Amino acid sequence: MHSETIVIMPEGPSIVILREELSQFKGKKVLHVSGNAKIELERMKGKKVLDMRSWGKHFLMSFDDFFIRIHLLMFGSYRVNEEKEAAPRLKLQFKNGEFSFYTCSVKLIEGNVDDVYDWERDTMSDVWDPEKAYKSLVLEKEELICDSLLDQEIFAGVGNIIKNEVLFLTKVQPASLVKDIPMKKLKEIVKTAREYCFDFLRWKRIFELKKHYRVHTKNVCADCGSKIVLMQKMGKRKRRSFFCPHCQVLYTKE
């Protein structure tokens, strides 16, 4: 029994890693439940975790007639076979070990995950559907592309780092309106979002993610040397956007 830790940067790929680390408890019976989550904890006691899945930034544990949805939000974390100082929000103990979640959102939802989630919307899923994402994206005419990329209904799992990196890779400025971006470029954004999610996953696994940032938190463009622009609260989501004003195109109505 060894201990594992850490989720920071809880975007979709990090939740895939979380799910993999906890999969050792899939099919196992819950012996003890504790934590300060405001749900009926007892519902899990003595029951088997039938499945563990993820959808975007959601981690899902299925039981007989309900499932638990965990969202790490901004500051959530978890530990396997060890504890932090802080009180766990949810702790599950099994014969073969235990895990705890901290400062996260925990919900108990009646029914089956398949009734709630469209797996084709999850950028990390085997059945992710780029066509579907594209069709939803083009409808968001009046949105800024930086807002649409963070829309979990379209790109479940994409977070702010992925947003900034994808826009850099596709050479689009975050303040471009969706309706002003050519169809071909929108398709490239969809494709690149998916690909970058898997690059993020690969680098995250080997603790090399930050090393590969091209624009996020950077001061100087790696490609042209221009100063990277940081806008603190861009768009309706008010998130940080980093971009190179030289390499990235601002699409406008003209």
Binding site for DNA (CB under 7 A): 8-11, 56-57, 71, 73-75, 77, 84, 86, 102-103, 105, 150, 152, 159-161, 216, 232, 236-240
Is 47 or 71 the residue whose CB approaches DNA more closely? 71
Is 105 or 112 the residue whose CB approaches DNA more closely? 105
Shortest distance, position 48 Cβ to DNA, whole Å? 26
Shortest distance, position 112 Cβ to DNA, whole Å? 18
d(CA 49, CA 29): 6
Closest CA to 80 of 158, 2, 150: 2
Is 9 or 48 the residue whose CB approaches DNA more closely? 9
Shortest distance, position 41 Cβ to DNA, whole Å? 17
Is 146 or 221 the residue whose CB approaches DNA more closely? 146
Shortest distance, position 170 Cβ to DNA, whole Å? 18
- In eight-state DSSP terms, residue 119 is G
Strands 97-102 and 90-94: antiparallel
Is the C-alpha dihedral spanning 23, 24, 25, 28 positive or negative? positive
Cross-strand pairs, 249: 172
| DSSP structure string for 214-242 | SSTT-SB-TTT-PBPEEEEEETTTTEEEE
Shortest distance, position 29 Cβ to DNA, whole Å? 29
Shortest distance, position 57 Cβ to DNA, whole Å? 4
Query: Residue 204: which residues within 8 A CB-CB, separation 6 or more?
Result: 9, 13, 14, 17
Is 73 or 139 the residue whose CB approaches DNA more closely? 73
Is 66 or 78 the residue whose CB approaches DNA more closely? 78
**70 near 105, Cβ under 8 Å?**
yes
